[in-house]
């Protein structure tokens, strides 16, 4: 299919040339005003973004205040107690005490 036939049929000739180089796809014309928005739309987007950021900031402050008021996880404290027991009593005694603690916890 020659270039004349391609022009007549309306198809673009995209593929390999004889020398092995690729044909480039036809480019669209440069239109700098195509993506512009009105001032009202830009202002509305800015206001929405500012409101969203303010809400996120409030949520982060609430989360930090909650973290500051409540003590750390009770589970981590019990782990620290077990480590301390292992150091003080030795491994066997610590295992016995931890089993006893677990049994007491299940009874309650």
Domain ranges of the chain: 38-70, 72-108
User: pLDDT tens digits for 55-70?
Assistant: 999 999 999 999 998 7
Asked if pLDDT for residue 26 goes beyond 70, the answer is yes
Closest CA to 81 of 53, 105, 108: 105
Lowest mean pLDDT among 10-19, 35-44, 53-62: 10-19
DSSP β-bridge partners for residue 16 = 22
Distance CA 82, CA 41 (A): 61
Rg (CA), the chain: 36
Q: Quick one: tokens of 42?
A: 């830009």
Asked if pLDDT for residue 19 goes beyond 80, the answer is yes
Closest CA to 14 of 5, 6, 23, 27: 23
């Amino acid at each position: 299919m020659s270039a004349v036939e391609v022009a007549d049929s309306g198809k673009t000739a995209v593929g390999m040339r004889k020398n092995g180089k690729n044909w480039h796809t036809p480019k669209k014309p440069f239109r700098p005003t195509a993506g512009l928005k009105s001032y009202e739309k830009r202002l509305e987007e800015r206001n929405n973004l500012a409101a969203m950021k303010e809400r996120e900031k409030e949520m982060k402050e609430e989360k930090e205040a909650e973290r500051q008021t409540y003590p750390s996880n009770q589970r981590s404290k019990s782990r620290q107690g077990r480590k301390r027991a292992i150091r003080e009593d030795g491994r066997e005694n610590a295992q016995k005490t931890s089993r006893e603690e677990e049994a007491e916890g299940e009874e309650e």
